[in-house]
Amino acid sequence: MVAAGLGFVPHTVSIALRWGIGGTSPFISISESLSLGVWVTVLLLLAVQVSTARVRALGVLMMPIAFTLIGWAGTLRTDPSSNLAPALQSGWLWAHIIGATTGFGAVLVAAGMGLLYLLKERTRGGLNEKLPSLGYLDEMGYRFVVGGFTLYGVMIVTGSFWANQAKGSYWGWDPVEVWSLVSWLIYGIYLHLRITFGWRGRRLAIYSLAALAAMIVSYWGIPFTVETFHSGFRVPH
């Protein structure tokens, strides 16, 4: 956690310099989006660690994913020379970005809780004793899924208003839009299984890990492989 905190500081400086001096918005490209997503994720992880000492091992999933994503962002980084077109600058966009990045951090925390649940369930001895109870991990995973699901809803709604402002339509069946909706529905199914069917424990822990993979594909995989409106925020004229 000390290393994560020390890495968070220059990461913050990097984003600030590229945005303030280079003029590159922190979401204008896949590289910037990855970097901002990791920044919010580590910020959320550190906040959880400060607020409670019961989940010190949470970084076992979150930090390797953050490390991988920031490494990927580094391979895609370009000169800080591009900024968002004036036609696309809007308060809706900021709400959209905040919902997306914070929602990602929340569901990643939930997946981390799911992994800790599975580890505690399968191990005995030292590691098992250092982890909180299964009930606590299950409840915390559920709470973070609720948070991520809500923030993803904010992302979709504000993104629709922003798209209408920029393109004249609320929904264009952009691949990223479709996959974002799919990811949101996947976490909606998680909540439905828990609230309506009474799922708990191991099944939801596995589900949260699988859902995270789908979310990563929708958030970064689709814009990287398919030419979409989100790839550089192009607007057809």
Whether 198 is covered by a domain: the verdict is yes
Give the total number of structural domains in the chain: 1
Instruction: Identify the domain containing residue 47 by its residue range.
Output: 2-76+86-225
Return the pLDDT at 79: 63
Return the pLDDT at 23: 64
Give the distance, in angstroms, between the CA of residue 38 and the centroid of all CA atoms in the same chain: 8
Return the pLDDT at 185: 94
Return the pLDDT at 136: 93
Return the pLDDT at 232: 47
Return the pLDDT at 46: 93
Whether 236 is covered by a domain: the verdict is no
Whether 237 is covered by a domain: the verdict is no
Cβ-based neighbour number of residue 100 at 10 Å: 24
Whether 122 is covered by a domain: the verdict is yes
Whether 233 is covered by a domain: the verdict is no
Q: Specify whether the CB–CB gap between 71 and 113 falls below 8 A.
A: no
Q: Which residues of the chain have pLDDT under 50?
A: 232-237
Q: Model-level pTM?
A: 0.84
